[in-house]
Copies of this chain bind each other. A is one copy, B any other.
Amino acid sequence: MDADKVFKALGDPTRRRLLDLLCEQNGQTLGQLCDHLDMARQSATQHLDLLEAANLVSTVKRGREKLHFINPVPLHEVYERWVRKFERQRLSLLHDLKQELEGEDQ
């Protein structure tokens, strides 16, 4: 997984919206997805290309259509390698901050 590509891809609201749309209904065509976005088809294509480069979306050509599917694996890896690390220390980190603040008051 290219963590940077995944995070960069998730860093744009349009692309998160595209993932949301695919989560509602997987396997949509470019045209279907564009109907929900307020931008030119070509712009949406560029966003989808980034999602595909980040391996967050896979595509299948069917005739003249292009179907888009969510790939949840990178999101899972983001969680495993990134969020859980902080999650594990969550309580202890809050404890650090609390101690620091209390130390200031004394």
**Cα distance, A62 to B4, chains bound together (Å):** 34
Residue A93 lies at the interface, judged by CB distance under 8 Å to chain B = yes
Please tell me the size bucket of the interface on A: 35 or more
**Cα distance, A86 to B71, chains bound together (Å):** 9
Copies in the complex: 2
Is A72's CB under 8 angstroms from B86's CB? yes
Picked from B58, B78, B94, the residue with its CB within 8 Å of the CB of A83 is: B78
Instruction: Report the minimum CB–CB distance from A15 to chain B (whole Å).
Output: 9
Residue A64 lies at the interface, judged by CB distance under 8 Å to chain B = no
Is A75's CB under 8 angstroms from B86's CB? yes
Is B11's CB under 8 angstroms from A100's CB? no
Instruction: Report the minimum CB–CB distance from A50 to chain B (whole Å).
Output: 11
Is A93's CB under 8 angstroms from B72's CB? yes
Q: A76 — which chain B residues lie within 8 A by C-beta?
A: 83, 86-87, 90
Q: A60 — which chain B residues lie within 8 A by C-beta?
A: 97, 100-101, 104
